[in-house]
């Protein structure tokens, strides 16, 4: 019912903010993969709150425990369950939100759909849910790396109107992590950090665009017609809270070119077929073509702002709500590892599906 994702490498996440904890069950993980809690923790630490002066100051350590599916450091091929307890609860910050709906948050729709909601910390609509995705994504990234040295790298391309120039080389993890805003272009990163700080000091928020690139993908991942690679990536990305747009390769800007400018001509590249340019973003006909996969995801400004706003209460009466609590003035820096995780989950699933259908038999 909407809490599971993937076909052969399948995850189910559970838990709410301000509940007992958060977790994920991963079914279909290949057996005999070396896996430790440290593999998962390093990615969770990139996602957790309180990691820099431009994220929420909430102090959650987000320590992961592997509860099942691993024996003597190796995956068993059985379901892997990972559990992260919640901490640093401050339910009093959400008291007023019990009966008043935050503009552009999930309060009104959850309440109206389910007739009940855990309003503390946003409940299931909180981005705490993504802990399960990042824990599973850490495993998916490890599998991709071992399978074909595949690397998934996301970074912030734009905050509000501050945009980094096109990043030509595949950015290193060190370059992305060098700034708290996770933009590998140092001058732009500095301007972004200053802008986020300025918005935070006004009790306001800001959005932007994350770019994600994947290298060393083989030709063949993606299952036309409904499970085209870019269709599954779009679903994965738009399943993240606060996302508003997805584009692959040349995206919306590509519509301003004519065909002769836009086509990626085929060339011979180091003994195999490649393309001279990559406006396709590494996908043609819904199938990876061996070039770098390139896509971008738009995130809106954080809904909860520390300002007084017009709203309605649960009786439909017009009122005002003063935003309180410790919110991210910009969700993008913490969303970078989440985007990477969702991409890795889609790619491992498609890797397994491709091998099962196209490489199991020698007809
Ligand atoms: C990493 C991350 C952190 C977030 N932090 C906050 C936050 O502190 N406050 C807030 O109001 N929304 C935050 N959000 C967004 C909300 O979860 C989201 O806007 C809300 O669930 C409504 O869903 P929608 O924006 O997709 O419609 C965050 C999202 C992400 C991805």
Atom number, ligand 1, closest to the C-alpha of residue 125 = 21
Atom number, ligand 1, closest to the C-alpha of residue 241 = 26
- Ligand 1, from 331, 341, 342: best to mutate by most atoms within 8 Å of Cβ? 331
**E strand or H helix that includes residue 11:** strand 10-15
State if residue 128 touches ligand 1 by the CB under 6 angstroms criterion. Answer: no
State if residue 302 touches ligand 1 by the CB under 6 angstroms criterion. Answer: yes
For the question of whether the overall pTM of this predicted structure is more than 0.95, the answer is yes
Q: Which domains does the chain have, with CATH numbers?
A: 4-358 (3.60.150.10)
Average pLDDT over residues 98-119: 96
How far is the first Cα of the chain from the last one, in angstroms, to the nearest whole number? 38
The pLDDT value given to residue 92: 78
- Ligand 1, from 302, 311, 339: best to mutate by most atoms within 8 Å of Cβ? 302
Span 216-272, pLDDT tens digits: 999 999 999 999 999 999 999 999 999 999 999 999 999 999 999 999 999 999 999
**DSSP structural state of residue 86:** -
pLDDT at 1 over 90: no
Span 173-185, pLDDT tens digits: 999 999 999 999 9
State if residue 327 touches ligand 1 by the CB under 6 angstroms criterion. Answer: yes
Total residue length of the chain: 363
Average pLDDT over residues 327-335: 97
**Three-state DSSP state, 124:** helix
CA of 300 to the centre of ligand 1 (A): 9
Render 200-255 in DSSP notation, one character per residue.
Answer: HHTT----EEEEEEEESPPBT--BTTTB-HHHHHHHHHHTSTTEEEEEETTGGGGG
**Three-state DSSP state, 299:** strand
Span 139-183, pLDDT tens digits: 999 999 999 999 999 999 999 999 999 999 999 999 999 999 999
Return mean pLDDT, the chain: 96
CA of 331 to the centre of ligand 1 (A): 7
């Amino acid at each position: 019912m909407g809490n599971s994702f993937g076909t052969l490498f399948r995850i189910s996440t559970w838990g709410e903010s301000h509940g007992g904890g958060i977790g994920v069950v991963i079914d279909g993980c290949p057996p005999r993969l070396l896996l430790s809690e440290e593999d998962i923790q390093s990615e969770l630490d990139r996602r957790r709150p309180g990691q820099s002066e431009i994220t929420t100051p909430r102090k959650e350590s987000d320590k992961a425990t592997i509860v099942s599916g691993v024996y003597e450091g190796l995956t068993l091929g059985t379901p892997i369950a990972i559990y992260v307890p919640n901490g640093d609860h401050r339910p009093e910050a959400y008291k007023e939100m019990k009966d008043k709906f935050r503009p552009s948050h999930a309060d009104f729709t959850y309440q109206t759909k389910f007739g009940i909601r855990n309003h503390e910390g946003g409940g299931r609509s909180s981005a705490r849910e993504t802990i399960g995705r990042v824990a599973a994504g850490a495993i998916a990234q490890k599998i991709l790396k071992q399978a074909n040295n595949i690397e998934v790298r996301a970074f912030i391309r734009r905050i509000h109107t501050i945009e980094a120039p096109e990043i030509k080389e595949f950015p290193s993890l060190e370059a992305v992590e060098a700034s708290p805003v996770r933009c590998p272009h140092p001058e732009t990163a500095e301007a972004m950090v200053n802008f986020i700080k300025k918005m935070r000091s006004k009790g306001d928020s800001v959005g932007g665009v994350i770019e994600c690139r994947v290298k060393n993908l083989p030709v063949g991942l993606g299952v036309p017609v409904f499970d085209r690679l870019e269709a599954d990536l779009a679903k994965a990305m738009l399943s993240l809270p606060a996302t508003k747009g997805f584009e692959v390769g040349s995206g919306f800007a590509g519509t301003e070119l004519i065909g002769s400018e836009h086509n990626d001509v085929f060339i011979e590249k180091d003994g195999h077929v490649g393309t001279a340019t990559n406006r396709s973003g590494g996908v043609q006909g819904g199938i990876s073509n061996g070039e770098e996969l390139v896509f971008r995801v738009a995130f809106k400004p954080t809904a909860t702002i520390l300002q007084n706003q017009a709203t309605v209460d649960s009786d439909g009466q017009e009122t005002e709500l003063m935003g309180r609590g410790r919110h991210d003035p910009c969700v993008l820096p913490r969303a970078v590892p989440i985007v990477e995780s969702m991409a890795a989950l889609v790619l491992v699933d498609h890797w397994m599906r491709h091998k099962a259908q196209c490489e199991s038999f020698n007809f």
